[in-house]
Amino acid sequence: MTETTTVTFSVLAADERLPDFAALSGLLAEARGLNREDAGRLARHAWGFIGEGLDETAADGLLAKCGAAGIKAVKIPSSRMTALKPPLRVKKAVFEADGFNYTGAGADIRSCRSGEILVLSAAPVREETIKIIKTTEEPSGQERAIRFGIMAVTGLPMGLGKRKEVKKEVRSSELSFVLELILRTDGTRLRVSSNDFDFSGLKEKKTCSSQTNFRVLCAELAAFAPGALKNAGLWAMLESKPLGTLPYDSAEDFEKELRRLAVLAGKGASLLFQQKK
């Protein structure tokens, strides 16, 4: 007996810029039978994903509703919506006549040309760091009392206990401005974090503010790679709009938006993604 594999689809907003919020909320309310409040919450974190895990009939029906709402959309097989590759940290970058030269965590210098950059995505993201701290702890008062009692009864010298080395995991998070690039070659994904980047490559444009330097770097990259798709955060920076109103409530929001642009830039090419095993 032959097993039948069910093919499912995702429906994505097809334009580089996100659809109008009110139009998307109305569409989701109608398509999913939601009230306006619930549809608005869903639209806030949709990031261009209008429907996921749909059979072909449902996907085509949703596409028709998108057209009626004035939202341009595209249907993509779910098999091409796997996770993006892990990002490679970039510590320093310089613009040269022949391309964009960047230095990774291993101090190796690489280069890419403007046409190789498919996506530019930037946003304020809260990044979590984990540190292991070693400390020494004295024996507890109860442990000392027990040992002292044993010595008093037996007369045997036992000491009051030794210090113990304890490893503690300390978690902390801080707001960082993050810029990511997706390259055409093997879907390489680069990440720049404003809190851990050497902006000296900006030369005379470098300022004393890491946030200002980050905006300058974003503008330089957008000018260097005009054909790259840009996310809502990068557009806000280029248009000098406030970033606080953008709904980047978590790193997952940033990642979701990046995935959609990667699909659009690669026309759904699977090379952009790390295939699930």
122 phi/psi in degrees, rounded to 5? -135, 150
pLDDT, tens digit (0-9, with 9 covering 90-100), for 245-270: 888 988 899 999 999 999 999 754 44
In what side-by-side order are the strands of the sheet with 49-54? 49-54, 9-13, 73-77
One domain for residues 153 and 252: no
Confidence (pLDDT) at 109: 85
Instruction: Quote the CA–CA distance of 272 and 82 in Å, as a whole number.
Output: 9
pLDDT, tens digit (0-9, with 9 covering 90-100), for 211-241: 899 999 999 999 999 999 999 999 999 999 9
* Residue in 17, 3, 19, 125 with CA at minimum distance from that of residue 66: 19
Q: Which helix (H) or strand (E) holds 99?
A: strand 99-104
- State how far Cα 120 lies from the chain centre: 12
The token pair at 166 is: 């304890």
Split at pLDDT 50, 70, 90, the class of 156 is low
Confidence (pLDDT) at 277: 36
Determine, yes or no, domain membership for 277. no
127, amino acid identity: E
One domain for residues 101 and 153: no
One domain for residues 246 and 229: yes
* Residue in 195, 188, 184, 177 with CA at minimum distance from that of residue 237: 177
- The Cα angle at residue 244 between residues 242 and 250, in degrees rounded to 5: 135
Residue 70 backbone class (left: φ over 0; alpha: ψ -120 to 50; beta: rest): left
Token pair 């210090």 in the structure block, residue: 163
Contact between 150 and 158 under an 8 Å Cβ cutoff? The reply is: yes
User: 150 pLDDT exceeds 70?
Assistant: no
Q: How many domains does the chain divide into?
A: 3
One domain for residues 190 and 119: yes
Name the domain boundary from 142, 169, 196: 169
pLDDT, tens digit (0-9, with 9 covering 90-100), for 168-187: 777 777 788 999 999 988 88
Confidence (pLDDT) at 86: 92
Domain that holds residue 139: 134-169
Confidence (pLDDT) at 107: 74
One domain for residues 34 and 122: no
User: 55 pLDDT exceeds 60?
Assistant: yes
One domain for residues 120 and 219: yes
One domain for residues 155 and 246: no
Q: What is the CATH number of the domain that holds 63?
A: 3.30.1390.10
Confidence (pLDDT) at 108: 81
**Mean pLDDT along residues 31-36:** 94
Please tell me the pTM assigned to this model: 0.78
User: 44 pLDDT exceeds 60?
Assistant: yes
User: 98 pLDDT exceeds 70?
Assistant: yes
User: 274 pLDDT exceeds 90?
Assistant: no
pLDDT, tens digit (0-9, with 9 covering 90-100), for 191-207: 999 989 999 999 999 99
One domain for residues 94 and 18: no
Q: Provide the residue count of the chain.
A: 277
* Residue in 223, 192, 224, 197 with CA at minimum distance from that of residue 210: 197
More confident site: 67 or 141: 67
One domain for residues 143 and 249: no
Determine, yes or no, domain membership for 4. no
Output the CA torsion sign for 54, 258, 225, 117.
negative
Determine, yes or no, domain membership for 46. yes
One domain for residues 17 and 64: yes
Measured CA to CA in angstroms, residue 178 lies from 34, 59, 61, 149, 239 at distances of: 34, 33, 37, 59, 18
